Amino acid sequence: MTRLTPDLIENVPDDKIDLDSILVRSTGKSMKALSAEAAGLDEDVDFSKYTAAVIPITSGMGVIGGFSRSVDSILKRLGVDSHVTESTDVLGFSEAISAGVDMVFMADDSMFIAYNVREKKYITNFYGTALGYAVVLKNAADGVDDKDVLVIGAGQVGSRAAIILQDMGASVTITDKIKEKASKLGERIGARVMDDVEGALASHRFVLNAAPAIFPGRLIMDGAVISTPGVPHYFDEEAWAKAKAIIHDPLEIGVATMAACCMAFSIKKEGESR
Ligand code: 2YJ
């Protein structure tokens, strides 16, 4: 699994990437609207009554400079009343619970979760990322129902994205440089598998890339729509010129989607009890 590095996320807190402009250009919707859609909520849902704490976690390879601050900024951009705890680890968790927050965000080297304290349910970043990028692809492609979609990478994010895209009505093909991984997933979920990653890329207009990858322009279809959580990745000039949309950010789409899903546990329950 790829570990985020401070340089990958250095622009996240100040929104220098201007993800919203990229998303509006390619999908017609803002990050907040897309995350709400992913969570099955109304586009104009008000997240401002929800509180969250982001806890820096020192275990394993330790704190990543800027990580907690970036997650906190992403939550604030959704309207969530969020803060980073002063303490780390278990002390940070007790600080968050004592403050009475609705949600807790924390990540170590192998897992990143958003925990809904009231409903005692959590969402992983694997799922949030898979769902967020699938919803982005669906909107940028004007729907994926009955369309051929390629998923590159049969790991934690790719396998979840493949299932989500199938549920959206897409006809999914899976490819992975480790052929056995792709064929195992294809068998499990009933999807087509292509062994030749380059051939698969060259023959698909709609792509969700969940693997570290280099995309030479000669392999990109004209008008391709590529939703790509995989890091690191690289698109050459020809690829940018040929593609209709290449959508990537290092953290925000996954975190915003997991946050919306985490709040949806409470919002849907509140709706039911009315
Ligand atoms: O609190 C911190 O600053 C660190 N413990 C954050 C660690 C973030 N974790 C990762 O980057 C891992 N690769 C796991 C992320 C799973 C995302 N799908």
Q: What is the pLDDT of residue 126?
A: 98
DSSP type of residue 75: H
Q: Would you say the CB of residue 63 lies under 6 angstroms from ligand 1?
A: yes
Nearest CA-CA partner of 166 in 131, 200, 198, 214:
131
Residue nearest to atom 9 of ligand 1 (CA): 109
Q: State phi, psi for 122 to the nearest 5 degrees.
A: -135, 160
Q: What is the pLDDT of residue 1?
A: 58
How remote is the CA of residue 265 from the centroid of ligand 1, in Å? 23
Residue nearest to atom 17 of ligand 1 (CA): 125
Q: Would you say the CB of residue 57 lies under 6 angstroms from ligand 1?
A: yes
Q: Would you say the CB of residue 56 lies under 6 angstroms from ligand 1?
A: yes
Q: Would you say the CB of residue 221 lies under 6 angstroms from ligand 1?
A: no
User: What are 165-181's pLDDT values in tens digits?
Assistant: 999 999 999 999 999 99
Cis peptide before 216 (omega within 30 of 0): no
Confidence category of residue 274, pLDDT binned at 50, 70, 90: low
Average pLDDT, the chain: 95
Q: What is the pLDDT of residue 7?
A: 83
Q: Would you say the CB of residue 67 lies under 6 angstroms from ligand 1?
A: yes
Confidence category of residue 88, pLDDT binned at 50, 70, 90: very high
User: What are 174-226's pLDDT values in tens digits?
Assistant: 999 999 999 999 999 999 999 999 999 999 999 999 999 888 999 999 999 99
How remote is the CA of residue 111 from the centroid of ligand 1, in Å? 7
| Ligand 1 nearest-atom number relative to CA 157 | 18
Residue owning tokens 């093909």: 173
Q: Would you say the CB of residue 64 lies under 6 angstroms from ligand 1?
A: yes
Distance separating alpha carbons of residues 46 and 36, to the nearest angstrom: 10
Listed range (3-7, 14-18, 233-237) with the worst mean pLDDT: 14-18
User: What are 28-75's pLDDT values in tens digits?
Assistant: 999 999 999 999 999 999 999 999 999 999 999 999 999 999 999 999
Q: What is the pLDDT of residue 273?
A: 67
